[in-house]
Each structure stands twice: as structure tokens, then as C-alpha cells.
A and B are shown apart, each in its own frame.
Chain A
Amino acid sequence: MPDIPFIARGFHSHRTAAPAGRLPPGQYETRDFPVLSAGPTPRTSLATWDFSIRDAAGHSVKWSWDELLQLPHDTPTVDIHCVTKWSKFDTKWEGVSVDTLLDGARAGGVTGGEFVLAFSDGGYTTNLPIADVTGGKAWVAFGYDGAPLPPEHGGPARLLVPHLYFWKSAKWVRGLQLMARDQPGFWEQLGYHDRGDPWREQRYQGD
């Protein structure tokens, strides 16, 4: 069914257009960094923090905080897009590529996984096809704008998957569960889109 927009009487755009091709449909650019999360900000001691990749058979590989920091780092500069309509351009991150972590997990005997479920302190989860977190598209980020990632933005570490809506970039991430089948995460069970591609405006189920 065609989605014919209704013209809002007396509404005129007075926002200067973002550079062509940078703002997905329905988004606006912000210079702030808004905070959105569903519960209190969890606080986990770095001494007990770890990141794990597990498979369905029960194999897992874990990195302590220090071990994670010793892995090769990337410093991606990316645009991010929140489903609540804001986009922020040229955000600067530091983190470890999910490819690097998956290579380590495979070397440690972790197998399979067409899909991943990222899990976080506080109980948050989000699901992604493996193709969306491999090939240089996703990181476990612990630095933002030249400083440690603040807790309200997901520190000590969050997933960073900038080509999808930002709820997929799980804050306070503690690991990835590899799965043969897709399994909806926290917001995905509550009506948000399973994949969340901002360029196709996949905000909610059925979009």
C-alpha cells in the first residue's frame, strides 16, 4: 500500500539540509549526544568485567578488561542514527573489531552462529545477523572522542554497529551469544524492527 504523506498545513522546513546522502529518512542532525536507556546505568568493576563469545554447544572464549585492551584497536569515525530520530555525524570511537574477537573465539573452539545475541549488564539484549557484525562493520568500543566511554553512553564498553539504528549498539555489552537461528532481543520483542536499517527506515516491526 503506498504511503502517501499528508501535508501539514502551515509547516515549512527551516532546517538547513544535511550533506546529501548522510541523513536517513525521518532523521534530523543533532550536535548533542542524547542518552536513552530503559533502566539505571549499571556499574561493573573493571576487575570483574569480562567479554565473552559463546556458542550453542557451550564453548566460550573470554577476555578480561586488560586482555581486551591488548587486542589491536581501531579508531572508526562514523555517523550514528537513533530510532528516536536524531543522527550524529563524525563520532569518533576507539575499540576492537568484532572480526578480531570472532577470530579469537573461533581459534578457541567456538563454532557456528548465523546470528548473534549481544548481552549486557542490566539484562539488555539485541539480536543481529552475523553479517552485520563482521567485515569491519562492528566494534566493541571503549573510547569515545578521545576519552574512556562514559557510563551513561554504555561504558566501560558498548557494541558499535553504526550502520544500524543505535539500539543495536548495545550499551554495557558483556558478550555475544552465537546462534543458529534469530532470536529477538529486548526492544525487538517489544515491537521494534528485527534488523533496524536506518536507510530503509526499519524502525518498527513491519516497516
Chain B
Amino acid sequence: MARAAVPGRLNWRVATVIEARNETRRARTLVLDVPEWPGHRAGQHVDVRLVSEDGYQAQRSYSIASPPEDASIALTVERIDNAEVSPYLCDVLRVGDGLEVRGPIGGYFVWDVAQGGPLLLIAGGSGIVPLMAMLRHHARSNEQARAQVPVRLLYSARGVDDLIYRKELEELAQLPAVEVAFTLTRDAPAEWHGYRRRIDRAMVEEVSWPAAHMPRAFVCGPTPLVESVATLLVELGHDPSRVRTERFGPTS
């Protein structure tokens, strides 16, 4: 699909929660049926608006985890303690409820299989969410297109139980052209085969392609991780214009 250069007005729509599942202790996926959803590109996000009986409103942005191929959209929300929106989405909202959303939003941190690769994805924590949309989009593309785009993911989380989509990522890693590496920064079990430290230069060099292969890099996670990884990639010779970033603070 060609880039929609000039989207029309983004109207609020009342979506319906059609499925909800816990991904980890702190992350929950909500699958939404959005009336007249115009479609999205992998990497985009939506705004969510909550309005209380007394007229108070709160808005936040959440990345879309599902691929453009799905008719519904999936959001994965990380619960932040003592916050006002994420605990509602994780603990109160249930299947059948309505939820106001508008989108899709964002046209830079996006990837389509037609843009080619190689595709280098580096995530920290809930920064995996928009990258998951790219991986799922890749997996749903036809075999020929997929074979031409090798994908590597490096995903950093605190402990093994904090890895969102772990089972699905391990399954995706069985596909030809897809490689997945995990690193745990705090609690790695004894039998853990992945990395056990914060992402550093040696790890990025091991996981990524040399700059001469001109991968398209997407880096998403907490600010310190994104700052350090993006700087490393530039130091390793990658063209800054091929390194796209999305920095997440915890979204309360």
C-alpha cells in the first residue's frame, strides 16, 4: 500500500474489546474491533481516551501489536502502578466493553515488507510491541517476499517472565529468515541460553548485520536503551537515516 501522505481527520471511534489476555504479570493484550478501521501500517499507534462520568478525561498513546493483515487491532499495555490509564486497561476493562480510540497515528516508525530489508529490530521491555507488528506482518507476507527480507530481533527484558510474546517469538524464530535473540538484564534462570546483560556494543555487533548490508533498524524501548543502541549503531557505521527510534517512558 502506498504511503497515505495526507490522512483525513482522525475521528474518535468507540471500539469493542473482543478479546483480552495477559501476556506477562504486567502486560495485557486487548483485541479491539474498531468500526470502520481504516487500516494501519506496522509500527503505528493509536490514541486511547477515557472519559469518566464527571467529564474528566485522560488520553494516552499505545502501539499496535497486530499486523495490518488483521481486521481487528491488538494493543499490548504495560501496567504502571499508581497510574490512571494503564491499570484501567489492564484490570478493569473486559471483553464486551467499549473503548474510545483514534488512529492510526505516526508515519515514520513504520515498516512494510515491500520496503525490503534486512530488518533489524531492537527492543527493550514493552518497546517490543510496535516491532511485534512488523514481525507479524513479515510472517504473514507471502513466502517469496519474506525470503528476501531477513529479520533479526534483539529483545531485552528484566527477567524471563517479563518477555512479552515469548512463545510466539520462539515460534517465529523457526521461520526461515527470522532470528530472535533475547537478553535478560536481571534474573536469568540457570538453564537460560540467551544473553545475560544489558545490550552493549559486542552484542549489537553479534546480532546485527555489518553496516555495509544496509539494514533498516528500528529501535524501541526506554530512553536510556534507545539512546545507547542508536548511538552504537551510528558508531558501527550505520547511516543515521536508516536508524528509526521510538523512545518510551512508562506511560502512566
Task: Choose the segment among B8-16, B69-77, B138-146 that binds chain A (4+ C-beta atoms closer than 8 Å).
Answer: B8-16
The digit string for A121-162, where 1 denotes a CB below 8 A from any CB of B, is 011000000000000000000000000000010000000000
A11 touches B88 (CB 8 A): yes
Task: Choose the segment among B58-66, B112-120, B164-172, B193-201 that binds chain A (4+ C-beta atoms closer than 8 Å).
Answer: B58-66
Residue on B with the closest CB to A40? B230
Task: Choose the segment among B155-163, B183-191, B240-248 that binds chain A (4+ C-beta atoms closer than 8 Å).
Answer: B240-248
A191, B9: Cα distance in complex, Å: 9
**Distance in Å: Cβ of B222 to nearest Cβ of chain A:** 10
**Distance in Å: Cβ of B105 to nearest Cβ of chain A:** 7
A152 touches B9 (CB 8 A): no
Given contacts A35-B223, A39-B244, contact A205 B88 (CB under 8 A): no
B98 touches A6 (CB 8 A): yes
A186, B98: Cα distance in complex, Å: 34
A206, B244: Cα distance in complex, Å: 26
A contact residues vs B (CB 8 Å cutoff):
3, 5-15, 25-28, 30, 32, 34-42, 84-85, 122-123, 152, 186-187, 189-191, 203-207
B58 touches A35 (CB 8 A): no
16 contacts between A and B (CB under 8 A): A5-B49, A8-B88, A10-B92, A11-B50, A11-B88, A13-B56, A13-B58, A32-B249, A34-B223, A40-B234, A123-B241, A189-B5, A189-B107, A205-B7, A206-B7, A206-B8
What chain A residues lie within 8 Å of B212 (beta carbons)?
A: none
What chain A residues lie within 8 Å of B84 (beta carbons)?
A: 13-15, 28
A107, B8: Cα distance in complex, Å: 42
**Chain A to chain B: the 4 pairs with minimum beta-carbon distance, closest first:** A206-B9, A190-B107, A13-B56, A40-B230
**Distance in Å: Cβ of A12 to nearest Cβ of chain B:** 5
A9 touches B105 (CB 8 A): no
Q: B97 in the interface, Cβ–Cβ < 8 Å? A: yes
Choice from A8, A32, A206 contacting B10 with Cβ under 8 Å:
A206
B52 touches A41 (CB 8 A): no
**Distance in Å: Cβ of B221 to nearest Cβ of chain A:** 12
A34 touches B247 (CB 8 A): yes
A28 touches B58 (CB 8 A): yes
Majority SS at the chain B contact face:
mixed
B6 touches A191 (CB 8 A): yes
A8 touches B9 (CB 8 A): no
A10, B52: Cα distance in complex, Å: 8
Choice from B97, B240, B249 contacting A42 with Cβ under 8 Å:
B240
What chain A residues lie within 8 Å of B7 (beta carbons)?
A: 191, 204-206
A26 touches B223 (CB 8 A): no
A34, B222: Cα distance in complex, Å: 10
B244 touches A85 (CB 8 A): no
What chain A residues lie within 8 Å of B88 (beta carbons)?
A: 8, 10-11
**Distance in Å: Cβ of B43 to nearest Cβ of chain A:** 12
**Distance in Å: Cβ of B11 to nearest Cβ of chain A:** 8
A52, B242: Cα distance in complex, Å: 27
Other than A5-B100, A40-B234, A207-B10, give 18 A-B pairs with Cβ distance below 8 A. Answer: A8-B93, A8-B98, A11-B50, A14-B84, A15-B84, A25-B57, A28-B58, A37-B247, A39-B245, A41-B227, A85-B61, A152-B227, A186-B108, A190-B106, A190-B107, A191-B107, A204-B105, A205-B8
What chain A residues lie within 8 Å of B230 (beta carbons)?
A: 39-41
**Distance in Å: Cβ of A190 to nearest Cβ of chain B:** 4
